[in-house]
Structure 1
Amino acid sequence: MSNHGMTPTPTGSAPLTEQPATGSSRLTYDHALSPIGRGKGWWRGLLFIAFLVVGFFISSMTIGGLGILISTLTGEISQQQLMDAVESGIVPMTPAIFVTNNLALAALLPLAYLGQRMLFGVRPGTISSVTGRFRWAWFRKLALVIVPVFAVYSAGLFLLEPAEVNIDGTAMLMLVFVLLTTPFQAASEEYVARGGFQRAAGSWFASPQLSFIIGTAVSATLFCLAHGAGDWWLIGYYFFFGVIMSVTVKYTGGLESAVLIHAANNVMLFIPSVLTGQLSEGIDRSEGAGGPIMLLPAAFLAIVAAFVIWRAKKEDVETTTAPLVTAKQRKEEAARAAYELYAQQQAQLAQQAAQQPMQTYGDAAGQAYGQAPAQQYGQAPNHGQQQRDSTPPADTNRGRE
């Protein structure tokens, strides 16, 4: 019997997301792209950084510029105010400018996913955490503590410098925009700075320590430059903010805590600024806008980060991952698994064929070549029966003659 009709075709198995690894071979979040991006793959990290920087400028000029155009056409900003903004660097914050600025930054979030997938070939979810996904349960646990803490902190700052609250239609619209778009703006900055810049620069080094130091320096520097501060106190604060976020991400294994801290910080500081009308005057980052007072938010940020890291250890949050697998490696693994499955099925079919009894074409089943058919017990041989049948019957008429 031919096996041709039963020959299986190779079929793949589910591709792996990680290579088996244990012990010292496991990597922290900030160092996870190193096996792919160092050596001959150094260009991947460089292009990833360039991709995000170019995306930032394009998004700011298109989406962000749309807000300025709308505000100009509606008369919310005059030509003179625009000229003054160019000289001072302080742009009046209308609702259109505010929301488009946030949307321009939020648009970088999918670019971070896309850039990592194209240049490093790993699954997009690995940019969120070492587990390959955004850990919402961990995020919610932290939010129950972090959000109220930042609310109290913001209220305390307001009481130190109280101002008249003015609630009108514009303020309410701005408040809605703050609540709806600022969390996405903050999340996008973390995905770009810590998920993109940090890991891209860190991918150039095999040493985990050197990878973290260089990656943090590059990430914090670009994060600081993106805010365009002209005051050294503000520059130091933004750089320190970037460093603290990098430390938090490293020791929690993902971006969840950094996204939460960043979003809570921005939202809770914007709310009183909107209600007092200070935000509409623009965000002043020019020389002299900062001062020693910036040490207060820096210290508060360090305390919050320390709490988050302690909580992560207490909750036994995963902070390491096995070496990531590229798309090419996943295809090779799927092809190997398909070949192994095919070979296994062929071996099973060959074993089944070997166990079947040999049979000659045209003979009864179970009968060896040249052997007479089996005879039932008590039955006369067939050849004797055939002999009796061939003897002619006696002529009964002879006795009468």
Structure 2
Amino acid sequence: MLSWVLITVKVDMLMPMSINTPEPYGRPVVQLDLDPVAPLPFHQLARAGRNGWWRSLVGTVVVAVGGFLLMMVLIAASEIGGLVLGRPTMDGMRSWGSVGDTALELLSIAIAIPTVFVAARWVQGRPAGTVSSVAGRLRRRWLGLCLGLALPVVVVSLGVMFLLSTLGESSGDEVEWVGWRSFFFALIMLILLVPLQAAAEEYVFRGWLMQAVGAWLRSPWIAVLPQAVLFAAAHGWGTVWGFVDLVVFGALMGILAVRTGGLEASIALHTLNNFISMGVAAGIKGALESDETAADMDWVSAAIDISSMLIYAATVLWFARRRGIAAAGIAALPARGAHEIPPHHWPVGGAPLGVRVIADSSGSVGVSDRRDTADTSQWTPATSGFTQTGQVEPTDARLHGPEQACTDHVAPRPAGGPLAPQPPDALS
């Protein structure tokens, strides 16, 4: 008992000496530079990367040029393969049949996805997943729910349009079935490639272009409208109604991306719309070779399609509110790294090796006598009183908003073993 009291008195005498120790031993209170980061909406996630107004411009060039080069490589491979295998020529290019040519067309669009990820990661210096959502990834459960919401809307819309087009055709025009074998292979190809093609268009227009504009401007409307017009222009000019339909689609999908914090809702509708329409065409002989697109809609089809898109958008927004889908967040921001104080030997008799005081980017503060400070499982929480090892006694560890202060004191280990984990004021 007497030895324990003597140890306690010695520790209490040393603690003030550690606090007031002058240079060169350093200050016991250390300010940790951990700046708070405000949540970012989806269209401004490019600001999560490195600063620089030119990065969005350079990244757009990377996306455009990179996609074009990959497309040229794909076409060259197709031409070389067709030449070796003796494939016939159609419109000056080697043809692989209706299914093969459709697959090549879908794949030439899908290869834009890696160019977007590369531009986000290496040009803007942010995680590639921030192009997907504010969570830094595609939210799979939310994507699955959006697919379920889009399915009845797309089926009803395309069904009504197909029925009206069939009634408007003359009796001499007959639809010929392609056969189960051709339909099966076409369906497998569509299942594999249509989701990639639809997602690529969403990543380029609703993802990259919206966030590139959002890196400069705060208003989401200025980010939504330009990409909608560019999206319609990329599908070519057919009819005025078709162009309006595509602009409305691009604008609504952009609004959903901003309001739901990600591309899941737009990818779901785009994928099912393309898959079902192309799946129907796969069963009709010669339909996949048709050059007709959504840009060639008449006013009746455009009215039906726009109405279905409005219904889908309203339903998605309602479910997003009910389920608390985040529209803003810090989506896997680049880690600033742990803030570390190097080992420090305090001038006390019998003191152990220097102790590291560590604070990570989330604001957690701890102390450790290990040199491998990356292993946070070895941290000792910065609380008042003796630690279980009896080596460190932090008497002041505070977090004041963006400024954190941590004071640590090193107490000597007694010869008989570790100190008991009791606060000093409880000892008598």
**TM-score using structure 1 length:** 0.69
1:42 and 2:46 aligned? no
- The answer for the alignment partner of 1:113 in structure 2 is 117
Q: Deviations over 1:157-210 (max 9, x none)?
A: 2222236241324343222211221011111211121111110121112x3x2x
- The answer for the alignment partner of 1:303 in structure 2 is 311
Question: Which consecutive residues of structure 1, in runs of 5 or more, have no partner in the other structure?
Answer: 1-17, 84-90, 358-401
* Structure with higher helix content: 1
State the Cα distance separating 1:353 from its structure 2 match: 5.0
- The answer for the alignment partner of 2:297 in structure 1 is 290
Name the amino acid aligned to 1:109: I
Q: Secondary structure at the match of 2:356?
A: helix
Q: Is the 8 A contact 2:67 2:115 kept in 1?
A: no
Q: Which moved more, 1:226-235 or 1:343-352?
A: 343-352
- The answer for the alignment partner of 1:334 in structure 2 is 337
- The answer for the alignment partner of 1:150 in structure 2 is 154
Q: Is the 8 A contact 1:122 1:325 kept in 2?
A: yes
Q: Secondary structure at the match of 1:180?
A: helix
Which ranges of 4 or more aligned residues in structure 1 deviate by more than 6 Å?
71-76
- Between the aligned residues of both structures, percent identity stands at 24
State the Cα distance separating 1:252 from its structure 2 match: 0.9
Pairing of 1:337-352 with structure 2 (within 5 A): 337=340, 339=342, 342-343=356-357, 344-345=367-368, 348=392, 351-352=409-410
Name the amino acid aligned to 2:44: H
Q: Is the 8 A contact 1:68 1:97 kept in 2?
A: no
Distance 1:122 1:224, change over 3 A: same
Pairing of 1:205-354 with structure 2 (within 5 A): 205=217, 207=218, 209=219, 212-284=220-292, 289-293=296-300, 294-322=302-330, 325-326=333-334, 330=335, 333-337=336-340, 339=342, 342-343=356-357, 344-345=367-368, 348=392, 351-354=409-412
Name the amino acid aligned to 1:342: R
Q: Deviations over 1:82-130 (max 9, x none)?
A: 49xxxxxxx9972222111212222222222221111222222222211
CA distance in 2, matches of 1:351, 1:216: 56
Distance 1:308 1:111, change over 3 A: same
* Structure with higher strand content: 2
State the Cα distance separating 1:276 from its structure 2 match: 1.9
Superposed CA RMSD in Å reads 3.3
Distance 1:233 1:68, change over 3 A: farther
Q: Deviations over 1:20-67 (max 9, x none)?
A: 45xxx4321112223657xx6111111121111112222333324655
Q: Deviations over 1:138-173 (max 9, x none)?
A: 122222232233223323322222362413243432
CA distance in 1, matches of 2:102, 2:135: 34
CA distance in 2, matches of 1:123, 1:339: 30
- The answer for the alignment partner of 2:347 in structure 1 is none
State the Cα distance separating 1:351 from its structure 2 match: 4.7
Q: Deviations over 1:1-22 (max 9, x none)?
A: xxxxxxxxxxxxxxxxx9745x
CA distance in 2, matches of 1:231, 1:171: 30
Distance 1:182 1:69, change over 3 A: farther
State the Cα distance separating 1:270 from its structure 2 match: 0.8
Question: Which consecutive residues of structure 2, in runs of 5 or more, have no partner in the other structure?
Answer: 1-33, 167-173, 344-354, 358-366, 370-390, 394-407, 416-428
Size of the aligned set, in residue pairs, is 318
CA distance in 1, matches of 2:76, 2:306: 32
Match of residue 29, structure 1, among 34, 42, 46 = 42
- The answer for the alignment partner of 2:138 in structure 1 is 134
Distance 1:308 1:92, change over 3 A: farther
Q: Secondary structure at the match of 2:135?
A: coil
Distance 1:93 1:26, change over 3 A: farther
Q: Is the 8 A contact 1:42 1:204 kept in 2?
A: yes
Distance 1:101 1:66, change over 3 A: farther
